[in-house]
Amino acid sequence: MKIAVCVKQVLSREATIRVNDQGTWVRDADAQFEINEPDQYALEEALRLKEQHGGEVIAVSAGPARVTQVLREALARGADRAIHVGDDALVEGDAFVVAAALAEAIRPEGVDLILTGLQSDDQGFGQVGVVMAERLGMPHATIIMDVSLADGQVRVKRELEGGWFQWVTLPLPTLLTIQSGINQLRYATLKGIMAAKKKEIRAVRAEGRASEQRIARLYVPEKSKQTRVLEGSAAEIAKELVQALREARVI
Amino acid sequence: MSALEVWTFRLLVVVALALFSVQMATRLRLVAAGAQNLRWDRFPERFRQFLVDVVFQARVIRAKPWVGSAHLLVFWGFVAFAGFTAVESLRGLGLLDLTETHWFRSYRVALAPFAVAVLAGILFLLVRRGLFRPPALGQTVSKESILIGVLIATLMVTFLLDLRLEGGAERVNWWVHMLVILAFLVLIPDSKHLHLVLSPVTVFLKSPVLGDVPNLDFEREEVGFETVADLPAKQRLDAFTCVECGRCQEACPAFATGKLLNPKKLILDAQRAMLGGQLDAKLVDVFDDGVLWQCTTCGACENQCPVGIEHVPLIIGSRRGLVSNGEAPDYLGPVFNNLERRGNIWGLTYDQRDKFIASAGVETFDASRHSYLVWLGCAGAFEADYQKSLRALFEILHANGVRFGVLAKERCNGDPAKRTGNEYIFQELATQNAEELRQAGAKKIVTSCPHCLKTLGQDYRRFGLDAEVVHSAVLVSELTSHVHLAKDDEVTFHDPCYLGRYAGHTAEPRALLHRVGAEVKEPVRNRDNPFCCGAGGGLLFEEHESGKRISQERLDQLQATGARRVVTACPFCSIMLKGAQASTQSSTEMVDLISYVNDKLRGEGRGAGG
Ligand code: SF4
Ligand code: SF4
């Protein structure tokens, strides 16, 4: 069982966020980063599957040199090796570009299973996984709550709306996007950290590809206050109030 | 003495010495095979503890004055008799006869009262052990102890008879005396009376700091104790020194509330494993199931042990071995991840701390304007009740003209990681915090959390922080020495382990309470031997405590004083005791020391009404 897990490096929740000069993304030169939370669950699930069925877990991350930090974290928690898909432009790349870069890096590995987090904590497109599956010609399933492997097939539990679940069986190889909270995350151990120092992070270059989508403007939500005094008889005021609330989309 | 006698004695001495040496060698070799962690630094402090605990037997006597005094008599008797035994042995070996010298005759006469004292002491101990069977000593009467006791009594009786007897009877008496001594020599190494030989060394080698757990050295790939073979020299020496007195067991809050953990058994299990050649056995298998995670690191065992055994480094060392392999209990996993990713045990983001600082109007520390840095700790950042206590501290400091500030950003001091054996996270946090405190130029740090006090004040020395760290109870008691309010309230005070036992600050909180008009009704287990609240060592996060809850037991003890208010001085003691109180629906009021003092000083609030 060869499993690839895609992990993204996102801004830390502790970081003070500042918009960059072009107003297109956050200023990340002095920011703090961490591993995307849903990806932590994907990694944990991969490690558990490996513990049950044997095999290998490969952590893959796309982005500038700093993303090796999350790869080290994945290695410390038990991934066997890592691939760094290096390209500074990927920071502002759209889901399609990132998915393409990851897919090309994973393709030669011939993996049985690819796990990603359901979505990223920063952009939250929820697209990279499914686009990758499409490019690699694999089936995929999203919002996964449970994974079990048997007879060369994978049976998963998907979360639907309104408390409903769906059970699906897929052939291998396949791609799953994992929902947060599916398992209990392990912590980094000293032995794991020591072992991680000796594990390989292979760097591959991403093919330069232009994004189709681009962020036009990034800004801090603007708060504004408006006061309007309604006048007239009670009935008129009530009518006007309902009208105003409708306009403000409160009701 | 006839030639036959001399030769017989020589033969017996050789046999006894050989048997003694073989048994001793086994043990000393085991000690020497452990990683070297015997430390001789801080000589004056070590010499002091040797004097107090060995020569004057202070720790033996303190907890049990009667038994301790009896033991002191026996100990001093042994020392006094050393010369006598040496002279008689030399004579028996036919090497040198000093028995007819003038000084020996006087020495012998001077020994007589010692002999009577030892006899009285040992008879008292024998009767206590044989008839009353204190539970701490185990369920069955140890035959070995009775035998040793009888031997000691025989030595004294024969000595006293020797003063009177003449001729043949004197010879028989002499032989009985010397044979008993030789038998003693043979029996010592394989019995708890080995402490006669080892305890002076063990006491000297014990760290002068209670619960002192040195850093792991990552460069040397240290990961903690996994197998028996990983136990370093001091922990091995400890295991052989144990005199099985059970004082640690009696003091242990986990044992007292029906858990499997028994610090005495822990030490004896390590001893048994070593002597049984199980060096490759995993410690977690050598010890009883789960006991390593039942310890609150309250330090009571170590603090009570009369022979210098350090339980806390053994327990934390063994936890490290498990944590390094990912084998910590489930409830600690999220705590470790929170500490690693968010820098605090609750996994919250620090904007709550920012809001608190802003609403309390506290400035960011600036060494040129502030004399104290107030360390909030994670409870200060997130715990509403504790924030009240901090506001009270801020008010008192303002009122007394003390200029202070706080760090713009803090992380957990790392105590929960350190005491649960997650050294990687502890060192990450400690390195960053110590660096930021140094950069801020803080010379004096005050905290209301006793765990921060111990960690910043002692553990951070190893990270290059040399600022003076004080607990708010100490600082506030210095600032308010002029206050004298009339008595109008009755409270009981729960000494936090890390304040009373670890830091020895028992007088200051009481002085403060007295000063603001509160009479303190002492609970059982107070001052430097408090009964833990149950929070320490990561147990704050354990929801399924076996046996009675430690916090419940402590609350019962505090309520038994009859006081309506329980005052304490630690955010975690507060959380635990409030938790226990919530489940009993008692009307006892819990209040933090500094909040209480401030209310009284301002002459308002609930505290003032009495
Ligand atoms: S430190 Fe406290 S809880 Fe732990 S074994 Fe010793 S007495 Fe018991
Ligand atoms: S460890 Fe110390 S206190 Fe405990 S039984 Fe042994 S000698 Fe006594």
* CB-based contact B216 A190, cutoff 8 Å: yes
Q: CA separation (Å) from B530 to B213, B494, B495, B506, B526?
A: 21, 7, 6, 10, 4
CA of A43 relative to ligand 1 center, distance in Å: 37
Q: Is A225 on the interface with B (CB under 8 A)?
A: no
pLDDT at B198: 97
Q: Which residue's CA is the nearest one to ligand 2's atom 3?
A: B305
pLDDT at B610: 37
CATH number at residue B599: 3.40.50
Of A13, A184, A190, the CB nearest to B333: A184
* CB-based contact B424 A34, cutoff 8 Å: no
Burial class from Cβ neighbours inside 10 Å (0-12, 13-18, 19+) for residue B202 reads buried
Is residue A214 in a domain? no
Final residue belonging to a domain, choices B448, B477, B506: B477
**Intra-chain end-to-end CA distance of chain A, in Å:** 53
pLDDT at B178: 95
CA of B235 relative to ligand 2 center, distance in Å: 13
Higher pLDDT, B264 or A247: B264
Is residue B38 in a domain? no
Of B330, B333, B342, the CB nearest to A14: B342
Cis peptide before B523 (omega within 30 of 0): no
State the smallest CA–CA distance between residue A13 and chain B in angstroms: 7
pLDDT at B608: 37
Is residue B575 in a domain? yes
Of B223, B333, B343, the CB nearest to A190: B223
Residues 6+ apart with CB under 8 A from B226: B282, B283, B321, B322, B324, B325
- Same structural domain for residues B583 and B541? yes
- Same structural domain for residues B254 and B303? yes
CA of B539 relative to ligand 1 center, distance in Å: 12
pTM summary value: 0.92
- Same structural domain for residues B151 and B299? no
Is residue A230 in a domain? no
* Tens of pLDDT, residues A34-77: 999 999 999 999 999 999 999 999 999 999 999 999 999 999 99
State the smallest CA–CA distance between residue B430 and chain A in angstroms: 16
Helix-, strand-, coil-residue percentages of chain A, each rounded to 5: 35, 25, 40
Is residue A218 in a domain? no
Is residue A33 in a domain? yes
**B296 touches ligand 1 (CB under 6 Å):** yes
- Same structural domain for residues B23 and B139? yes
Final residue belonging to a domain, choices B138, B170, B190: B190
- Secondary structure of B32-74 as H, E, C letters: HHCCCCCCCCCHHHHHHHHHHHHHCCHHHHHHCHHHHHHHHHH
A83 close to A146: Cβ distance less than 8 angstroms:
no
**B377 touches ligand 1 (CB under 6 Å):** no
- Same structural domain for residues B466 and B571? no
* CB-based contact B333 A186, cutoff 8 Å: yes
**B264 touches ligand 2 (CB under 6 Å):** yes
Is residue B609 in a domain? no
Is residue A215 in a domain? no
CATH number at residue A60: 3.40.50.620
Is residue A236 in a domain? no
B343 close to B426: Cβ distance less than 8 angstroms:
no
- Same structural domain for residues B10 and B135? yes
Q: What is the mean pLDDT of residues A3-14?
A: 93
When the pLDDT of each residue in chain A is averaged and rounded to a whole number, the result is 92
Distance CA A125, CA A94 (A): 9
Residues of chain B with pLDDT under 70: 141, 604-610
Is residue A250 in a domain? no
Nearest Cα to B360, choosing from B345, B374, B349?
B374
Q: Which residue's CA is the nearest one to ligand 2's atom 6?
A: B242
Q: Residue A185 pLDDT more than 90?
A: yes
* Residues facing A4 on adjacent strands: A58, A114
pLDDT at A206: 83
Residue B165, token pair as written in the block: 């007897």
Distance CA B264, CA B244 (A): 7
CATH number at residue B231: 1.10.1060.10
Q: Which residue's CA is the nearest one to ligand 1's atom 6?
A: B301
Q: What is the ipTM of this complex?
A: 0.85
pLDDT at B605: 42
Distance CA B430, CA B448 (A): 18
Tell me which chain A residue has its CA closest to the CA of residue B320: A190
- Same structural domain for residues B85 and B120? yes
Q: Is A13 on the interface with B (CB under 8 A)?
A: yes
The domain tally of chain A equals 1
* Tens of pLDDT, residues A130-180: 999 999 999 999 999 999 998 889 999 999 988 999 999 999 999 999 999
Q: In what order do the strands lie in the sheet with B372-375?
A: B404-405, B372-375, B444-447, B468-471
pLDDT at A228: 84
B560 close to B321: Cβ distance less than 8 angstroms:
no
Which residue type sits at B29? R
Atom of ligand 1 nearest to the CA of B300: 7
CB hemisphere CA count around A240 (13 angstroms): 10
* CB-based contact B336 A188, cutoff 8 Å: yes
pLDDT at B134: 80
B65 close to B76: Cβ distance less than 8 angstroms:
no
Tell me which chain A residue has its CA closest to the CA of residue B224: A190
State the smallest CA–CA distance between residue A34 and chain B in angstroms: 8
Is residue B264 in a domain? yes
pLDDT at A223: 83
Contacts with B223 from chain A: Cβ below 8 Å: 190-191, 194
Question: Helix, strand, or coil here: A172?
Answer: coil
- Same structural domain for residues B467 and B496? no
Residues 6+ apart with CB under 8 A from B434: B460, B463, B464, B465
Distance CA B369, CA B378 (A): 25
- Tell me how far the alpha carbon of residue A105 is from its chain's centroid: 17
- Same structural domain for residues B409 and B467? yes
A39 close to A116: Cβ distance less than 8 angstroms:
yes
Q: How many residues does chain B have?
A: 610
Q: Which domain holds residue B451?
A: 335-477
Nearest Cα to B302, choosing from B188, B224, B202, B232?
B202
Q: Which domain holds residue A71?
A: 2-205
Atom of ligand 2 nearest to the CA of B243: 7
Interface mutation target, options A190, A194, A197, chain B, most CBs of B under 10 Å: A190
- Same structural domain for residues B15 and B151? yes
- Same structural domain for residues B416 and B555? no
Residue for token pair 């993304």? A25
The domain tally of chain B equals 4
